[in-house]
Structure 1
Amino acid sequence: MQEEVKKHTQKIYNTMRNPKHTFTEKIKEVLIEIFIIVFAVTLSIWLHSWSEHKHQQKEVSTFLGNLKDDLQDDVKILDKEKEVYEKTNLGYEKILSLTSFQLDSIQKSNTKVYFPINSQGPKLNIDNYESFKSSGKIGNIENEKLKQKILNYYQRLVPSINEVDKVYNDYLFKCFDKMIENADKTEKGLYSDPKFKKTIYFLITIGKNNMRVYDKNVKLGANELIKEIEEEMNK
């Protein structure tokens, strides 16, 4: 393009110095050359912009495809984590339902009460999102609704899991502290202690709340986002 502009500029220069042409002819030829230059530059800019836009949208398409795979994996991870919550809560509920007679039997048989230990905290897939975001390419997603759903999922919903799981794990460690504090007590003394039972009760309650967050917030958000991505990719 630079050579073409240089060539037509030289023609303008030569035209203006040509003594055989009248002034009117010179102006006419100069205007034609200027038009050619402007058209060529405009076309070049348009082609470059079109090519760049096409490249950006290809990157967006690849990103959305990878993101869809990540989200589908997230749903599976959340389902598995929810199963762990349900199983663990069932174990805690069994502990709370132990009667004095049952605790006596456990103590006499010199056995231990099974206390489930599962520190919660699913590892969701955020690498593709973080990489695309850090490269400044999120703005290339032209579907504003889809872009906002992506940002909402990764900036609000995903962090909410860490927040609720942290509360749960904090209460789990409180149970450990109670066990240490009551290390000199029998199984019956520990598991019939009102404060210890109350801590387990809150642990169950928080676990149920966290399962709702998984299902009604994050998993629902992931499924909605998958649907939006599929619609966008099928356009």
Structure 2
Amino acid sequence: MEHEITGHSRKVYKLWKSQDISPWKKVKEIGIEVLIIVFAVSFAAFLERQREHSSEQKEVHAFLNGLKTDLTNDIREMESDKKSYIGAAKAFRYLTSLPPGQKLNPDSLRKHQGYILNTTGLVPNDGRYQGFKSSGKLSTIENEELQNTILDLYQEDLPNLISSTNLYTKRKEVLFAYLFDTMKRNPDGSNNMPDLLITDKAYNISITLSFTQEVIDRYDSAISKSKKIITAIEREQQ
């Protein structure tokens, strides 16, 4: 294409310098050559845009495929995390439901102990998203609704969820610090944790830990948004 444009440009120059044709014919033939050059340049630019667009969409396709895998894994983790917070709510409601002075039921403590003493938080598989975003390529996703939903998930839903779980973990760490500072061993090898969990201080901390609905709601929102994105990706690739 560049060779042809150069050839027509030379022809225009020769026509302009020629003394063998009339001015009117010279203008006419130069005009034709200029139109050919303009068309050739425009067509070359069109082909380049098409090539770039095709390359961009291949990258988008690969990104969306990978994102679907990331979100599938995140959904699995979020659903497991959500169950942990449901279990935590039940555990701390049990602790705070006991009348003052009543001992913990050993079977109930064994049932709830894992939820009392663990922490749960999402670590999203967001490296692919962050890389695509930082390269400025999110705008190449032509489906604007899908693009906006992806942005909503990673810029609002997931940060809100992580903020909530971090705050909950900090409240739980207050309980951990109290237990670790005051726990003592018994001669039989057990410890006094069951007694500590029914103290007034543990009760006051446990009251705050029994409220997990905000965290659960934010897990539900992130799970729902993730599933919506996966459905949209699958529809795009049909």
Coarse TM-score class (shorter-chain normalised)? 0.7 to 0.9
Higher deviation after alignment, 43-52 or 6-15: 6-15
Gaps of 5+ in 2: 107-111, 185-190
**1:200 matches 2:183:** no
Higher deviation after alignment, 220-229 or 167-176: 220-229
State the partner residue of 1:220.
224
Divergent runs of 4+, >3 A? 86-103, 113-116, 180-189
What is the TM-score when the length of structure 1 is the normalising length? Answer: 0.84
Deviations 1:89-146 (A, max 9, x none): 444444445564545x97xxxxxx9463212112111111111101110111122221
Q: CA separation of 1:64/1:177 partners in 2, compared to 1, >3 Å: closer, same or farther? A: same
Q: CA separation of 1:43/1:187 partners in 2, compared to 1, >3 Å: closer, same or farther? A: closer
**1:172 matches 2:172:** yes
Q: For residue 171 of structure 1, report the CA deviation from its aligned partner.
A: 1.1
Matched position secondary structure for 2:122: coil
**1:152 matches 2:152:** yes
Matched position secondary structure for 2:117: coil
Tell me which amino acid in the other structure corresponds to 1:202: T
**1:34 matches 2:40:** no
Q: For residue 164 of structure 1, report the CA deviation from its aligned partner.
A: 0.7
CA RMSD of aligned residues (A): 2.6
**Structure 2 CA distance for aligned equivalents of residues 58 and 9 of structure 1:** 36
Q: For residue 84 of structure 1, report the CA deviation from its aligned partner.
A: 2.5
**1:161 matches 2:165:** no
Whether contact under 8 Å (1:190, 1:196) holds in the other structure is: yes
Q: CA separation of 1:192/1:13 partners in 2, compared to 1, >3 Å: closer, same or farther? A: closer
Q: CA separation of 1:193/1:4 partners in 2, compared to 1, >3 Å: closer, same or farther? A: same
Whether contact under 8 Å (1:120, 1:168) holds in the other structure is: no
The structure 2 residue matched to 1:209, chosen from 208, 214, 221, is 214
**Structure 1 CA distance for aligned equivalents of residues 161 and 92 of structure 2:** 22
Whether contact under 8 Å (1:71, 1:226) holds in the other structure is: yes
Identity %: 29
Gaps of 5+ in 1: 107-112
Q: For residue 169 of structure 1, report the CA deviation from its aligned partner.
A: 0.6
Aligned residue pairs total: 226
